[in-house]
């Protein structure tokens, strides 16, 4: 039966896949590396990583699989403090004119 929790998990998983794919494309697709693209890719990757931990906890995989729990315990996943500086750096680099 489709419950609201299941629907939320599906939407969250689709957003995670889109975030990881978009950040990977932004980080690698440019022929000439540009700092705004790298900053935006870093921001998307960190947001997706934070969403991944939320998904694993909602789906019950965090407590059920010890390898996932060990990997997430070793990895800094609560990276909310990194969002502010990335956004602060993204805006000036995105709005300044290209020479």
0.75 cut: is pTM over it? no
Residues 12, 51 contacting (CB under 8 angstroms): yes
Rounded CA Rg of the chain? 16
Residues 78, 54 contacting (CB under 8 angstroms): no
Sequence-distant (≥ 6) Cβ neighbours of residue 9 within 8 angstroms: 55, 58, 59
Q: How many CB atoms are located within 10 Å of the residue 7 CB? A: 10
Ranges of H-type helices in 1-99: 4-28, 35-59, 61-64, 66-74, 80-95
Please tell me the predicted confidence (pLDDT) of residue 33: 67
Distance CA 11, CA 27 (A): 24
pLDDT in tens, 65-93: 788 778 777 776 666 777 778 788 878 87
Ordered by start, the domain boundaries in the chain are: 4-95
Please tell me the predicted confidence (pLDDT) of residue 19: 92
pLDDT in tens, 19-53: 999 999 988 876 776 878 888 888 888 888 888 88
């Amino acid at each position: 039966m489709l419950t609201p929790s299941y629907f939320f998990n599906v939407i969250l998983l689709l957003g995670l896949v889109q975030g990881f794919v978009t950040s990977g494309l932004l980080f690698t697709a440019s022929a000439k590396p540009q700092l705004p693209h790298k900053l935006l890719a870093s921001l998307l990757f960190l947001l997706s990583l934070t969403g991944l931990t939320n998904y694993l906890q909602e789906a019950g995989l965090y407590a059920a699989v010890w390898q996932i729990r060990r990997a997430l315990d070793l990895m800094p996943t609560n990276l909310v403090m990194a969002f502010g500086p990335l956004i602060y750096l993204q805006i000036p680099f995105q709005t300044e004119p290209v020479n």
